[in-house]
Amino acid sequence: MRTLVAYFTWSGNTKEIAERIARKTHGKLFRIEREIPYSTDYNTCASDTVIFT
């Protein structure tokens, strides 16, 4: 049985953890991406949440 580690990351923190989990489980990494990426500016990103969720 293979493990799929699907993750979403904005700043890279979750990517780091997902990579560690994938290494430990010999899982396959799959990055979930938004069709319209969040802004790299924190405040803009946080206010976008209200609009896009």
Min CB(1)–ligand FMN separation in Å: 27
* Beta carbon nearer to ligand FMN, 1 or 53: 53
List residues near ligand FMN by CB under 6 A: 9-15, 38, 45-46, 49
Grouping H, G, I as helix, E, B as strand and the rest as coil, residue 37 is coil
**Start-to-end CA span in the chain (Å):** 34
From 19, 27, 22, select the one nearest 2 (Cα to Cα): 27
Q: Please report, as a single letter, which amino acid is at residue 23.
A: R
Min CB(30)–ligand FMN separation in Å: 15
Min CB(24)–ligand FMN separation in Å: 18
